[in-house]
Every structure is written in structure tokens, then in C-alpha cells.
Structure 1
Amino acid sequence: MRSAFQFSHLSAGFIAVLVGYTSSAAIIFQAAAAAGASQAEISSWMWALGLGMGATCIGFSLRYREPIITAWSTPGAALLVTALAGVPMSEAIGVFLFSSGLILLCGVTGWFDRIMQLVPAGLAAGMLGGVLLTFGLDLFASAQTQPWLIGAMLVTYLALRRRLPRYVIPLSLLAGLAIAWGTDLLHFEQLSWQLARPVLMTPSFSVGSIIGIGIPLFMVTMASQNVPGIAVLRAHGYYTKASPLISWTGITGLLLAPFGGFAFNLAAISAAVCMGKEVDADAGQRYKAGVWAGVVYLLMGLFGATVVGLFAALPQELVMGIAGLALLGTIGSSLVVAMSNEQERDAALMTFMVTASGVALLGIGSAFWGLVVGGTVHWLNVRASARAVKREA
């Protein structure tokens, strides 16, 4: 019983969900509002997303015995905020179905697995480090506005990270909550709890919406979410084939799109929280953190829109601080892997820098472009090495 319900697993799962919701839940509300959603329909969106992420997290983690975390597509939601303006809700649902269908097709054909086999480990680690770097920087940037809050969390982390590695993150969170409570930074006065109810929304299909919104939604979900998601798994030594995971996220999207589940994909940033040594010294037991993340996702979905009020009650610095602390170890290990192979070092460094820059082109995030630039440098280096060998022969 103690082995099945360790607090470090529960806390990692909770923090993973905390990071995911606080970083982008407000964007989901904006996207739904852009399509003219009512309060009941917005609540249904959150219900569908929570249910889908919860079911896939629990299912994947138990099936593969790995901490496989799913999420909604944050860049996809950002795309929808502007793209859905003036688009009827029925067409929006049609777009979601189309995009999820493409994701399913990409999974069942095995295209995604074959592409990921071509990505060197150094480049994948460099991309992961670039994706997570912002969170590490935000930890210290938050100290400008709340020095006592961040200071208490950081001191707790440094003092206990070697003595109590499994519990250092939740204890740091408790230290932050104590300071926030003592300085009146917690605001639960207007928080009310109510269960969400699913609303079935009938789809309609428009060629313009499918081409102008559906294809970009598919592209940003695959390039900016699923590619980093697989990279996180690989960087932590988990090698489950990507195709079944991608396929099931597509199926989940097809089932829940009529209720507002616009896109499901593998998580990267929140997933990394469940994969460090702080979660469990035994990598084979960290899947339990993924199960707990799924349970928390299900609870979040049941309460729908109320979730945003809960996270709004916490100071932003607290959320940014605990996310940064939880990811420090992963940032360090990813940089070690990225720089370890001298032949891949230039390409990995370029991947890291482009990804960390946050540049977005053609509606696709920096993680994808980091791989493109790093992959190009790697290809050029391989060709140059081959030519040098040929000349010497």
C-alpha cells in the first residue's frame, strides 16, 4: 500500500497539472469565447479536456508503466483565439474533428515514429532544455516582485534536495503557501464550486475553416506539442513507440471534440515534472505520478470552469516558482545530454538556442524550428565528416 501511494508520486502529478492549467487555462477560455461559446459551453470545453487528459494519462501510464502525460494543445488554443473569431461554434467543432482525424492518421500510419527515429538524442535533449529554460528563468525573475516567497521556496529546496529528494518539491510548495498565506496573497473569497455538465455541440464543415484553421491546428499540435512530448520521454530513458500514443490522442479528440475537446497531445513541460529522480529513485515506479496526474485531471474536468478561479486565487509568483524548482533537475540533465556528444554539440547548441528564443514562424512554435535548424546543422556536419573521410581514403 505504501509503495502504491507515495506522496512524491501524488505531489508530482498534482504539480504537473498545476503547471499545465495555470500556464494556459485562460487561453482556453479566450478561444471558446472567440467562437461565441456560452458559459455552459465553456464549462463543457473544460469538462471534455479534463476528461480526455485524465483518461489518457491513466491509461497510458498503466499500460506502458511509464509516466506518460497528455495535455491540450496550448499553441493550438492560442491559434484558435484569433482564428475562431466570427466562426460559428458548429464549424469550430468540425475543425476539431478534422484535426483529430489527421492526428489519428499520422499515428496509425507510423509516420510519426519514423520521423522521431531520425532525431539524434543530443538534439532532442537540446530542444527539451530550450523548452524548459524559461521556467527556470521565471523562478528567479519572480523574486523581483515576491522576494520572500521565492526565497523561502528556494532555501527549502536547497536545504532538503539531497536529504529528502522525493519530498523536496511538495515541501517547497508548502513553504511558499505558508508565506503567501502570511502575507495575504491567497484570495479564495469569491471561489465557488460547481460540477460541469457536458454540452453536445453539432459539427458542421466548411472548406475554408478546414484549410484555414484545421490544418494549422494539426500542424502546431504535432510540431509544437507531440515532438517535444516524445523528446521528453526519450531524454528520460522511456522508449515507448510514439505511434500508439499519437493514435489514441487522435481517437480521444474524435470522441470529445463535439463537447469542446479541441486537441489532445503528449505533454512536454508538465510531463517532465513526473520524470525526475525527485519523483522516485526507481524510474520504473514513476508511472504512478502519471496515474495521479490523470486523477487530478479528471477532478479538474468535473469542476470545469471553477478550476480557473482556484488557480487565480494563487499568486502567479508561487506557480512560476514551484514550476521552476520542479524542472531544475530536468533542465540540468537535458543540457548534460545535449553537450555530451562532441559531434552533435554544435547542432544541439543551435537547437537549444533557437528553442529557448521562443521564435514562432508560420504559426509554429520554437521547438519545431529548433529541431529544423539543429537538424540542418547536424546534416551539414555529417556530410562534411563523410567528405573528409572520403578524401583521406
Structure 2
Amino acid sequence: MYRAIKYKIPVVTAWSAPGTALLVTLFPDISLNEAVAAYITSAVVIFFIGITGYFDKLLSWIPQEVAAGMMAGILLQFGLGLFTATDTMPYIVFGMLAVFLLAKRFSPRYAMVWVLIAGVVLSMLLGKINPVTADFSLAIPQFIAPEWTWSSTLNLALPLILVSLSGQFLPGMAIIKLSGYDMPAKPIISATSIASLAVACVGGITIVLASITAALCLGKDAHELKEKRYIAGVANGLFYILGGLFAGSIVMLFSLMPKELIAALAGLALLGAIATNISVAMGKESQRDAALITFLATASGMHFLGLSSVFWGICIGLVAHFLLSQKNRNAVPVTASDSKRV
């Protein structure tokens, strides 16, 4: 919230989703104490990467089209999830889609609110939500002593650093720049790393720059005026605080909703972000092949050498960019006199 107010930019942070998925694959071979130690290690390393300014240099080497292709690839699965959810609950999903289209026509700013209401109402009418008495109690943090081992450092800390930088900070900074904001990565990475250290010993995974949530807060749906969209970042922070205080109760409430409702809600909310990034990725013909390769590799979900498709998407895309850019530089332009000779 402080960064959003200071820079007037909707800076949104979150726990590392790729890091969470990585952690799940390691249990039960790694203990919670070892995981906490890995969180601390990754936070320290990411802090030094951010404070030295090397991340900004890395970001400057990545073409806007390639970054947009990566972001579109990340978001594509959410868009596809909107329609794959119709396999099991077509009435709820198509009902939400119909409400979305009508709301976008008559009340675009509050379209997602109407969609959420429609989804909950339809789920209740179809008997897909079981009402229960929720116990709204405050979550109490518990200290967990870290235990450093080579196994947790190599299998969790190192991959966590890579997926946080490539899968969260990179697309997060890319979407900020694509939205027309000039924001250096140094203060964001430094602040999130310090926050990661603070929450590590209570089991909090690495805090990173959000990309998917940021796409929502940076779009026109947040506010028509770009200089007013930072309010979405502040509101997001306030809801995070409430979410943390009542984490157990909120998770229980969301678990009562059908997963198809959540998938449809996410897909509809991100339609604008998907369209924007695809448009930017395909905008410049000289970068189109590299951007398309980045998009496809990222969207593929590949996991080569234990690294995510986001990492490989940006790596393969950059290789394609540099090779094809070199080809374009070496190409001899056809002049008017040459064409006359032909």
C-alpha cells in the first residue's frame, strides 16, 4: 500500500504461486523447518539482486513484445478455464458469461461484481453450495524454527529464486511497463524481500510482485484515469490484511463454492488483460515470431529440468529474438533503384 501511495502506481504483491506449487511437489521429502530456511535464503538472495539494480538491467534487455507474449501465455490458461468449466457445470458458467456480456454493455465498471453475484446465486439455486455456520476467528501466527540443509537449499531455495524472478517479478514488471507506468524494480524487490524475511518464520512463502492480480488493477476496469488506478493497489492491500486476519474462515467459505465458479470468474476477469497482451505481442512484425514462440512456450505448461514454462518461455523467446533480430540487421534493404532494375 505504501508503494502504491508513494508512486501513484497500483503495486500489487502476493505469495509466489509458482513457489507454492514447487513446495507441494517436495512434500513430504522436505520438512516445514527446512522450507522456512529455504524461504529465508531465497529472500536474502532476491534482496541483493534487487538492491544492486541488476534486475532493471535484465528487464531492459527484454523486448516489450516478448514480455507481452509471456504474459499472454500465463493468462491464457485462465481464459481457457472459463470454457473447460462448462464440461461439468454449464448452466453456472454460461449464466455468468451472459451476465458478464450484459453488464459490460450496461454497467462495465461493476461487471465483475454482477458476475460474482450471478455465480453465487446460480450455485445456490442449483444446490452446488452447502450453507454452513462459519466461525470467523482471527488467525494466530506460529513461530517455526528454520533448519538449513543442502537439500532444501538446492531443491527449494534455488528454484524458488528462479521462479520468483522469472515467473512473478518479470511478468509483474512487464505488465506495469505495458500499462504505461515507469516504475523501477529496485524498490519493489527490496521491499518484498524484506517482507518475505518477516513472514518466513511463520511459514509465509516468498512475497513477490503479483502479475495476474496486477493485470486486474492496472487495467481500465480499475479506473478510466491511469493516475487514479493506484487506489486499486491500496484497496488490494487492505483486503489482503483482512484476508490474512481471517484466513482460515475465508478459505473455508471459498471451498464451499464450486471450482467451476472460481474458474469462470477468473477467466472473465482476465479477458481484457489477455486481449491487451496478445495485441501488444503481435503488434510489431519484426518481433512477431519471437513473441509467438514465447507465448506458446509459456502457455504449454512445460516443466523441463524442474523449471516452469514461464522460465523457458522467456528464455526461448529471447533466443528467438536475438537470432531473428540479427537476421533482420543483416538483411539488405531493397532500394527503389534495385526494384527498377528488376
Bucket of the pairwise TM-score, normalised by the shorter protein: over 0.9
Q: Deviations over 1:173-201 (max 9, x none)?
A: 11222211211222231532221111122
Query: Residue 167 of structure 2 corresponds to which residue in structure 1?
Result: 224
Query: Residue 297 of structure 2 corresponds to which residue in structure 1?
Result: 354
Residue 366 to residue 179, structure 1, CA distance change in 2 (3 Å): same
Q: Aligned to 1:140, which of 64, 83, 100?
A: 83
Q: Deviations over 1:262-288 (max 9, x none)?
A: 211011112212222122111211111
Query: Residue 384 of structure 1 corresponds to which residue in structure 2?
Result: 327
- Tell me the SS of whatever aligns to 1:205: coil
Q: Aligned to 1:285, which of 228, 235, 253?
A: 228
The reply to whether residue 337 of structure 1 matches residue 337 of structure 2 is: no
Partners of 2:10 and 2:180 lie apart in 1 by 11
Q: Deviations over 1:19-67 (max 9, x none)?
A: xxxxxxxxxxxxxxxxxxxxxxxxxxxxxxxxxxxxxxx2222122112
Q: How far does residue 167 in structure 1 lie from its aligned partner after superposition?
A: 1.0
Query: Residue 69 of structure 2 corresponds to which residue in structure 1?
Result: 126
Q: Aligned to 1:267, which of 206, 210, 221?
A: 210
Tell me the TM-score normalised to structure 1 length.
Answer: 0.81
Partners of 2:227 and 2:108 lie apart in 1 by 17
CA RMSD of aligned residues (A): 1.8
The reply to whether residue 194 of structure 1 matches residue 153 of structure 2 is: no
Q: Deviations over 1:196-222 (max 9, x none)?
A: 111122223223322332212211221
Partners of 1:358 and 1:82 lie apart in 2 by 15
Give yes or no for contact 1:70–1:265 (8 Å, CA) kept in 2.
Answer: yes
The gaps in structure 1 that reach 5 residues or longer are: 1-57
Query: Residue 178 of structure 2 corresponds to which residue in structure 1?
Result: 235
Q: Aligned to 1:372, which of 315, 325, 332?
A: 315
Which moved further from structure 2: 344-353 or 142-151?
142-151
Residue 88 to residue 372, structure 1, CA distance change in 2 (3 Å): closer
Which moved further from structure 2: 207-216 or 70-79?
207-216
Residue 210 to residue 162, structure 1, CA distance change in 2 (3 Å): same
Give yes or no for contact 1:223–1:364 (8 Å, CA) kept in 2.
Answer: no
Paired AA for residue 12 in structure 2: I
Residues 106-125 of structure 1: pairs in structure 2 closer than 5 A? 106-125=49-68
The gaps in structure 2 that reach 5 residues or longer are: 336-342
Residue 227 to residue 180, structure 1, CA distance change in 2 (3 Å): same
Paired AA for residue 246 in structure 2: F
Partners of 1:104 and 1:249 lie apart in 2 by 8
Residue 357 to residue 202, structure 1, CA distance change in 2 (3 Å): same
Partners of 1:391 and 1:281 lie apart in 2 by 45
Paired AA for residue 193 in structure 1: F
Residue 282 to residue 181, structure 1, CA distance change in 2 (3 Å): same
Partners of 1:213 and 1:168 lie apart in 2 by 40
Partners of 1:296 and 1:390 lie apart in 2 by 56
- Tell me the SS of whatever aligns to 1:265: strand
Query: Residue 12 of structure 2 corresponds to which residue in structure 1?
Result: 69
Residue 82 to residue 339, structure 1, CA distance change in 2 (3 Å): closer
Q: Which has the larger radius of gyration?
A: 2
The reply to whether residue 91 of structure 1 matches residue 34 of structure 2 is: yes
Tell me the TM-score normalised to structure 2 length.
Answer: 0.93
Residue 317 to residue 262, structure 1, CA distance change in 2 (3 Å): same
Residue 352 to residue 87, structure 1, CA distance change in 2 (3 Å): closer
Taking every aligned residue pair, what percent have the same amino acid on both sides?
39
Residue 88 to residue 150, structure 1, CA distance change in 2 (3 Å): closer
Q: How far does residue 324 in structure 1 lie from its aligned partner after superposition?
A: 0.8
Q: How far does residue 381 in structure 1 lie from its aligned partner after superposition?
A: 1.2
